[in-house]
């Protein structure tokens, strides 16, 4: 489990108020009981935290927690 | 008409904000395009502004976040040293009935639609000090009419319109004119999403009950904003100008029937 993944979990738990234990690569936004406002806030928090940009067009393709983590990790790797 | 003026339009990557930004640019103003989520669209708006022969710059900020809002005005101050026109257009909200409206959605909507205008006007007034200026807030008929699911936005717009009156009086001695422009349903990407995404059917419903015989366009709204940013509207203060083709005057579809139906 990467450091990025732990940070992403921290952010989602803080904003969505879901149980940290349910956050597996397969867990969906329905599992997290996240609405569209939660999602925007999570995206913005991730952008600020990692200094990356997550365009809405890309975010709309995310199906589960794992998609979030891979996208963020890829963008962070590109920055280095 | 606005040659040499510096204008900031929040939420101007698309829709009504984009139309306002382009209209002010056409009048000769240099325009700062603010966006939150649509960078590509914002950059396109900026390119279209530059093609009109004026300067454009792009600043990303969630205006609902006071820190980001402050940073945006800091950037404006650093880049331009002043501001002549502030158009508070950025808005957000989720469809919720009053009974389903929770604190989170209420806070989000009020922060972006109402508080951002207050804090933005305070900063804008500072950058207009000694020269005067124009502040225009974009509102909607939902501040007075009741539309399904529009609760938080409608209430935030009522707050906005009240703020416009208070600011108009407080800023009048500084030669800063503060007004609002409110439209009925405008078929932008956001407008259509609120109409349930149904598109033509809902547009048709609005069209039929609009005495002027067509939908209000973003350019209709932008034209009135440009007027309020010009010198001829100097004595209009604290008003909400409704741009709806007469829609709000005719709650029943009696257009042209003479009461015979």
Q: Which whole number is the average pLDDT over B101-128?
A: 97
Is the Cβ pair B108, A35 closer than 8 Å? no
- Other residues' Cβ atoms within 10 Å of the Cβ of residue B98: 12
CA distance B197 to B192: 5
Q: What are the tens digits of pLDDT across the range A22-79? A: 999 999 888 888 888 898 999 999 999 999 989 888 888 888 899 989 999 999 988 8
**Max CA separation in chain A (angstroms):** 34
Confidence bin at B207 (pLDDT 50/70/90): low
pLDDT of B110 over the 80 cut: yes
Relative to beta strand B6-9, strand B85-88 is: parallel
CA dihedral defined by A4, A9, A14, A15, rounded to 10 degrees? 90
pLDDT score for B198: 44
| Residues B24, B48 contacting (CB under 8 angstroms) | no
- The per-residue pLDDT for B206 is 65
Distance from C-alpha of B39 to C-alpha of B49, rounded to nearest angstrom: 15
Given the residues B5, B134, B157, B194, select the one marked as catalytic: B157
ipTM score: 0.81
pLDDT above 70: residue B255 = no
Is the pLDDT at B199 greater than 50, yes or no? Answer: no
| Residue B104 in contact with partner chain A when CB distance is under 8 A | yes
A36 with B94: Cβ contact below 8 A:
yes
| Residues of chain B contacting A56 with CB distance shorter than 8 Å | 37-38
Site from A36, A40, A45, A58 to mutate, B interface, most B CB atoms within 10 angstroms = A40
**CB neighbour list of residue B219: distance below 8 Å, 6 or more residues apart:** B19, B23
Give the pLDDT of residue B60: 95
In angstroms, the separation between the Cα of residue B254 and the nearest Cα of chain A is 39
User: Which position has the token pair 């407080």?
Assistant: B170
User: By the 8 A CB rule, do B90 and B116 touch?
Assistant: yes
Question: According to the model, what pLDDT value does residue A2 have?
Answer: 80
E strands, B22-122, are 30-35, 56-60, 85-88
Q: Which of A10, A19, A35, A48 is catalytic?
A: A35
Percent of the residues in chain A that have a pLDDT greater than 70, as a whole number: 99
Check pLDDT > 80 for residue B193: no
Asked if the model's pLDDT at residue B93 lies above 80, the reply is yes
> Catalytic pick from B104, B150, B174, B208?
B150
Question: What does the block give as tokens for A73?
Answer: 């990790």
Distance separating alpha carbons of residues B71 and B119, to the nearest angstrom: 12
pTM for this structure? 0.91
Q: In which band, very low, low, confident or very high, does the pLDDT at B48 lie, cut at 50, 70 and 90?
A: very high
Average pLDDT over residues B194-207: 56
Catalytic site includes residue A67: no
Q: Are B85 and B134 in contact (CB under 8 A)?
A: yes
Homologous superfamily assigned to B6-243: NAD(P)-binding Rossmann-like Domain (3.40.50.720)
- Region label for B227, one of left (φ > 0), alpha (ψ between -120 and 50) or beta (otherwise): alpha
Compare all CA atoms of chain B with the CA of A36 and give the residue at the minimum distance. B94
Continuous segment of H or E residues that includes residue B179: strand B176-183
Contact B94 A35 (CB under 8 A): yes
Give the mean pLDDT of chain A: 89
Sheet of B6-9, strands arranged across: B56-60, B30-35, B6-9, B85-88, B133-140, B176-183, B240-243
Residue B218 in this model has a pLDDT that exceeds 70 = yes
Is the CB of B260 inside 8 Å of chain A's CB atoms? Answer: no
Which pLDDT score is estimated for B253?
52
State whether A44 and B108 contact (CB < 8 Å).
Answer: no
B191 in Cβ contact with B15 (< 8 Å):
yes
- The two tokens of residue B231 are 């010198």
Give me the pLDDT at residue A50, please.
92
pLDDT band, very low/low/confident/very high, at B201 (cuts 50, 70, 90): low
Average pLDDT over residues B170-177: 98
**Among partner residues A37, A53, A56, which is closest to B94 by beta-carbon distance?**
A37
Q: What does the domain layout of chain B look like in residue ranges? A: 6-243
d(CA A59, CA B13): 18
Q: Which one of B14, B35, B36, B37 would you mutate to disrupt binding with A, by most A Cβ within 10 Å of its Cβ?
A: B37
Test the A interface: residue of B63, B103, B104 with most A CBs within 10 Å? B104
Res B170: pLDDT: 98
Contact B38 A56 (CB under 8 A): yes
Among chain B residues, the shortest Cα distance to A15 is held by: B104
Q: Is the dihedral of CA B85, B86, B87, B90 positive or negative?
A: positive
- Average pLDDT of chain B, as a whole number: 91
Q: Which residues of A touch B104 (CB under 8 A)?
A: 37
**Would you place residue B224 in the very low, low, confident or very high pLDDT band (cuts 50, 70, 90)?**
very high
Count helices and strands in chain B by DSSP H and E runs: 9, 7
């Amino acid at each position: 489990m990467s450091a990025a993944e732990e940070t992403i979990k921290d952010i989602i738990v803080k904003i969505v108020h879901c149980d940290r234990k349910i956050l597996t690569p397969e867990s969906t936004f329905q599992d997290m009981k996240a609405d569209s406002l939660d999602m925007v806030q999570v995206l913005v928090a991730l952008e600020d935290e990692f200094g990356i940009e997550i365009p809405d067009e890309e975010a709309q393709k995310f199906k589960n927690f794992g998609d979030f983590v891979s996208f963020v990790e890829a963008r962070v790797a590109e920055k280095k | 008409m606005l040659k040499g003026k510096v204008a900031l339009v929040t939420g101007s990557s698309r829709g009504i904000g984009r139309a306002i930004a382009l209209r002010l640019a056409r009048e000769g103003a240099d325009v700062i395009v603010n966006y939150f989520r649509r960078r590509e669209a914002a950059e396109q708006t900026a390119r279209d502004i530059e093609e009109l022969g004026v300067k454009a710059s792009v600043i990303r900020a969630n205006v609902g976040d006071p820190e980001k809002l402050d940073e945006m005005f800091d950037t404006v101050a650093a880049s331009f040293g002043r501001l002549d026109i502030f158009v508070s257009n950025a808005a957000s909200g989720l469809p919720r009935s009053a009974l389903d409206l929770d604190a989170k959605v209420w806070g989000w909507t009020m922060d972006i639609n109402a508080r951002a205008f207050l804090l933005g006007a305070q900063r804008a007034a500072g950058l207009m000090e000694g020269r005067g200026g124009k502040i225009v807030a974009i509102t909607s008929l939902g501040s007075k009419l009741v539309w399904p699911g529009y609760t938080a936005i409608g209430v935030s717009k009522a707050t906005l319109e009240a703020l416009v009156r208070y600011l108009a009086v407080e800023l009048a001695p500084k030669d800063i004119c503060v007004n609002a422009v409110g439209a009925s349903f405008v078929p932008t990407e956001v407008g259509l999403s609120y109409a349930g995404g149904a598109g033509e059917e809902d547009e048709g419903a609005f069209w039929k009950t609009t005495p002027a015989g067509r939908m209000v366009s973003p350019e209709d709204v932008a034209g009135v904003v440009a007027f309020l940013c010009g010198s001829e509207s100097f004595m209009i203060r604290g008003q909400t100008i409704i741009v709806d083709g007469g829609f709000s005057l005719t709650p029943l579809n009696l257009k042209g029937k003479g009461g015979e139906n």
